[in-house]
Amino acid sequence: MAGQAAFSRDILLQTLAQPPSLFALSRKISLNDYKLKIGFKEVFGMAVFEFVRQQRMEKAWVLLENGSLNVSQAASLVGYNNFSHFSALFKKTYGVNPSNYARDVAKT
């Protein structure tokens, strides 16, 4: 199972902006979706889409830290079409509004 979980993680990392559904992912690794959910959480300590959300937020942080993109561009690149939803998740994750973070990074 660890090998299939690692393979599913690799697929998710390659498709962060538009990850496959749990069902599609389970088919790609030839495992039923229930076993994928259980095994992924066992190996990585979080649900499949918690992992996706975490990875998206980390990538957005790096994109904003580089200072070459504005917040809406970063949100779009990591797969969020709804700017408000992205902003709320970013603030919940890091405790700072993404616009404020981007502005603070630009000042330094």
Range of the domain at 29: 2-45
12-17: average pLDDT: 94
Q: How many angstroms separate the CA atoms of 28 and 49, rounded?
A: 16
Q: What single string gives the DSSP state of each residue in 9-63? A: HHHHHHTTTSPPPHHHHHHHTTS-HHHHHHHHHHHHSS-HHHHHHHHHHHHHHHH
Q: Do 58 and 101 fall into the same domain? A: yes
As a whole number of angstroms, the distance between CA 8 and CA 26 comes to 8
**Mean pLDDT, the chain, as a whole number?**
93
| DSSP class of 68 | S
- Same domain as 102, residue 63: yes
Residue 1: per-residue pLDDT: 65
27 and 59 both lie in a single domain: no
Return the exposure string of 41-52: e unless at least 16 CB atoms fall within 10 Å of the residue's CB, then b: eebbeeebeebb
Q: Determine the average pLDDT of the residues in 30-34.
A: 93
Is the distance from CB of 19 to CB of 52 less than 8 angstroms?
A: yes
Tokens of 76: 């779009």
More confident residue, 68 or 15: 15
Tens of pLDDT along 36-58?
Answer: 999 999 999 999 999 999 999 99
- Note whether 60 and 88 are same-domain residues: yes
CATH number at residue 79: 1.10.10.60
Residues 78 and 102 occupy one common structural domain: yes
pTM beyond 0.85:
yes
Residue 67 carries which DSSP code? T
